[in-house]
Amino acid sequence: MRLLGLTDWRSGRAADLVLPQAVDSRLIDETGAMSADVDRVDASGLVLAPALVDPHVHLRDPGQTDKEDMVTGTAAAAAGGYGLILLMPNTQPAMDGQARMADGCTVIDYLESYERDHGLSLPVDYALCVAATMDRAGRQASNPNDWSGHLPGHGWAHPVVAISDDGSAVTNQTLEAVAANARAFDLPILDHCEHHEHGQVNLGTISRQLGLEGIPASTETAIINRDIEQAERTGTRVHLQHVSTTGGFEAVRRAKARGLPVTCETAPHYLALCDEDLLRCGSMAKMNPPLRSRADQQAALEAVADGTVDMIATDHAPHTLAEKALGLKDAPNGIVGLETAYAVCNRVLVKSGLISHDRMIELMSLAPAELMGMHRLLPEDLSSHKANRGCKAGHLQLEADRRSDTGQPPVDLVILDPDAKWKVDPSRFHSKARNTPFAGAELSGRVMATIKDGRLVFSRLPASRVITRERI
């Protein structure tokens, strides 16, 4: 993610953004169609911010492209205002650095060369999270010889920036070896901080009402406490994924008070929903960890407000409608979230008065970029969490054949309308998947445009606000 080249970020004055030469500088509009090259957009009255960053995304490619692929997944990310996403390793085969694909290449190589091999330019950047264990089987730590050559600094467009076995927790038998690998190569462990062998929904009144086996909160807190102990004992950087319980947030809060190298995320659905919503949404709200109690939902909101939560990630997990039609007992876990995350968070966090819009941008953009090591691409005034992140935007000039006066690369930005009201219609998603509990929800706040490398790659702006070269 590059956030350089603005003439004056905080003043609110119009900014010139450089549009570099590119193979494909057309944009995806609201319907997914492509239109002509864009020279300038009128963003007056809207909010300009760093493009969002998601540190927890499943795009199912390779292996399950009936659910999602790189083209549809990155289109969904662009529509959600994201400029950079981190791909999880539970691909098929697993992203462990071994040559497991039919053509003899690794998943890392497949994703690194995806655009070149397919002759296209994807609308968002992506980095890779390597599997913690061989084939994600939880029996033997992955071999750094298989993936350490793909770390940042080796010239890769899509480097390995983290290590994880998501969507499973790192096993007890491999944790020491995985942590040693993480320390050796200065990578954070992103741990799926939840493990259970049985159950479908949160243990409590709702599980009993539905007649389903419940999943207790201890399945999360046990992993969190184990990982915190590892961080304290060894100094390993640990990032806890999708924390969802009161006890989990309390454990993270205590670890931070002791100065341990522990960070955590939660997801929009844990802030906006609780297990009571299963009665309305059914399997569309089935996920892992499960939606917790209303008290846990409140604890998640409080953890965002007091800074315990470092960032918000979607855990975008596409499934087919046929799979979700199997019902709460048998449907797979997971929901899509890239195209609704900003609006859901804006409604439950900002419109409620819990935090400011600028703080939400920190949680959804700057903090995830820092976790991924991409903060080094930010200028100092933006990488500091005390800086003002948003400004009212004027006309943005996208110029094709020159760089900014600073000589810096072009920028990744999002144009937002925090007050726009809209209803979620999954049939209009750019993702292949429709598995969302927010179908029909009335939300407040809309991504109006996404700019990557100085190019307008997604737009909901009316035609009168978009000036193409053909119209000049």
DSSP conformation class of 51:
P
Mean pLDDT of 69-98: 98
pLDDT single digits (tens) 262-300: 999 999 999 999 999 999 999 999 999 999 999 999 999
At residue 13, the pLDDT reads: 31
User: Quick one: pLDDT band at residue 453, thresholds 50, 70, 90?
Assistant: confident
Please state which of the ranges 349-363, 377-391, 450-464 shows the lowest mean pLDDT: 377-391
Mean pLDDT of 308-317: 98
Mean pLDDT of 246-265: 98
| Domain 52-392: assigned CATH number | 3.20.20.140
Predicted structure pTM score: 0.90
Q: Decide if pLDDT at 382 tops 50.
A: no
Percent of the chain clearing pLDDT 70 (strictly above): 84
At residue 190, the pLDDT reads: 98
User: Quick one: pLDDT band at residue 465, thresholds 50, 70, 90?
Assistant: confident
The encoded tokens of residue 132 equal 């913690």
How would you class 167 by CB atoms within 10 Å of its CB: exposed for 0-12, middle for 13-18, buried for 19 or more?
Answer: buried
CB 423 within 8 A of CB 43: no
Amino acid at 439: A
Rounded Cα–Cα distance for residues 227 and 383 (Å): 28
User: Quick one: pLDDT band at residue 410, thresholds 50, 70, 90?
Assistant: low
Three-state secondary structure call for residue 38: strand
CB 257 within 8 A of CB 283: no
Amino acid at 11: S
CB 459 within 8 A of CB 79: no
Maximum mean pLDDT: which of 159-168, 408-417, 458-467: 159-168
Mean pLDDT of 116-138: 97
User: Quick one: pLDDT band at residue 422, thresholds 50, 70, 90?
Assistant: very high
Catalytic residues: 315
Q: Decide if pLDDT at 6 tops 70.
A: no
Q: Decide if pLDDT at 106 tops 80.
A: yes
pLDDT single digits (tens) 364-378: 999 999 999 976 444
At residue 395, the pLDDT reads: 67
CB 39 within 8 A of CB 468: yes
Percent of the chain clearing pLDDT 90 (strictly above): 79
Q: What average pLDDT is seen over the chain?
A: 88
Beta-strand pair 442-452/455-459: antiparallel
At residue 109, the pLDDT reads: 98
Q: Decide if pLDDT at 15 tops 60.
A: no
